[in-house]
Amino acid sequence: MKRMSIVLFLALIVFMSGCIGTQTTTVTTTTTAPPKTVTVTETQGKTTTTTVTITQTVTTTMAPTHYPLTIIDSAGRKVTIKKEPQRIVSLAPSITETLYFIGALDKVVGVTKFDDFPPGVQKGRTIIGGFSDPNLEVIASLKPDLIIGTSMHLKYLDKLQQIAPVIIVDPKNITQIYDWIIKLGKVVNREKEAEGVVNYMRAIVESVQAKVANSTKPKVFFLLSYWNGYWTGGKGTFIDSLIELAGGENIFHDIEGWKAVSAEDIVARNPDVIIISYHAGVKPGDLCNTPLAKTNAFKNGRVYVISDDNLISRPGPRIVLGLEEIAYFIHPEAFNYAYQPKACAVSSS
């Protein structure tokens, strides 16, 4: 119920953003013209000279004054935006979601085939290919005035720049997500709307931190994938920072990035909580026949599956929903969260 209220609040921000952000900036000026001499001839042949003062009201539509705008993107590049973008190509679902929440989705003309939020986002927009393999010809045909991508798209940068200005967005933690929401708000002339989204995100994060502040930190293992080993995330990954914010201790915080670890390593570090990616390719019950059944997590039924991987993998506004879900798993007592234990029949030996 609480998650629904968060989504509805963010949706309200989007609605208000649409109402505010689409207004045309106008300046109305009233000018008084110099006195004019008007000659009026009456029917009797008498001529009267009259001086008339004419007041004119002139309405002028002006572009926002902060353009041209120069920003530094995640690749350390200076990018100058000459005027407010009207035709944006988004090369990543996280970017599309961010533009949606700050009320700028109406400017997006191209998205990837993986874009699925908000529901129906692909309707009326051109699919420009996949996340890692965008179709440059399709992008060029859309005549965009701005392209927004991630570090995944640096290999296409030279060709993309021939089409339109390119901004690389690649935040590494929640603080950088905040910064990029504000920065994109400035780029698309939705700064106030962006500030509203960030303020609400901060409130959610601070609420979670306050609830788990005085709790012990359970040891947590996150299973991203069961393909060719147990893939997990260490320093520099979103899951690592989310586990910490949610009041847990990532048992593989000492590794860098994403890495496959062995069952023996996991058992030796003995997690109290195991969180499994929805698309890990394995269910909790499947792991009962593996060495992981020896961990405290399995013995005590503290094994969970993320409801939507996009909540923890896409660096955008919805990541706070992922944080809340992880916090529920790690500290259910702090949120009055009732969970269904998933324990294996483990022998005492």
91 pLDDT exceeds 50?
yes
Residue that terminates a domain, selected from 154, 172, 200: 200
Residue reference for tokens 């998933």: 342
Residue 347 inside a domain? The answer is no
CATH number where 84 lies = 3.40.50.1980
- Same domain, yes or no: 71 and 196: yes
Residue 144 inside a domain? The answer is yes
Q: Give me the number of domains the chain comprises.
A: 2
State the pairing for strand pair 36-41/146-149.
unpaired
- Same domain, yes or no: 190 and 293: no
- Same domain, yes or no: 303 and 250: yes
Residue 133 inside a domain? The answer is yes
Picking from 151-155, 179-183, 264-268, 338-342, which range would have the lowest pLDDT averaged per residue? 338-342
pTM: 0.80
Residue that terminates a domain, selected from 151, 174, 200: 200
Per-residue pLDDT at 241: 94
Q: Domain span at residue 123?
A: 65-200
- Same domain, yes or no: 105 and 225: no
Model confidence at 24, in pLDDT bands (50, 70, 90)? Answer: very low
- Same domain, yes or no: 185 and 243: no
Mean pLDDT of 269-277: 96
Per-residue pLDDT at 97: 98
- Same domain, yes or no: 103 and 167: yes
pLDDT tens digit sequence for 199-241: 999 999 999 999 999 999 999 999 999 988 999 999 989 999 9
- Same domain, yes or no: 187 and 229: no
- Same domain, yes or no: 191 and 152: yes
Three-state DSSP at 41 gives strand
From the list 133, 115, 132, 100, the residue with the least C-alpha distance to 11 is 100
Nearest-angstrom CA–CA distance, 168 and 145: 15
Residue 7 inside a domain? The answer is no
Residue 139 inside a domain? The answer is yes
Q: Which residues of 310-333 are buried (b: 16+ CB within 10 A; e: fewer)?
A: bbbbbbbbbbbbbbbbbbbbbbee
Residue reference for tokens 């609605």: 15
29 pLDDT exceeds 80?
no
Give strand pairing partners of 250: 220
Residue 71 inside a domain? The answer is yes
Nearest-angstrom CA–CA distance, 337 and 332: 5
Residue 306 inside a domain? The answer is yes
189 pLDDT exceeds 60?
yes
pLDDT tens digit sequence for 37-68: 545 444 444 555 555 555 555 544 444 568 99
Residue that terminates a domain, selected from 152, 175, 200: 200
Residue 301 inside a domain? The answer is yes
- Same domain, yes or no: 72 and 186: yes
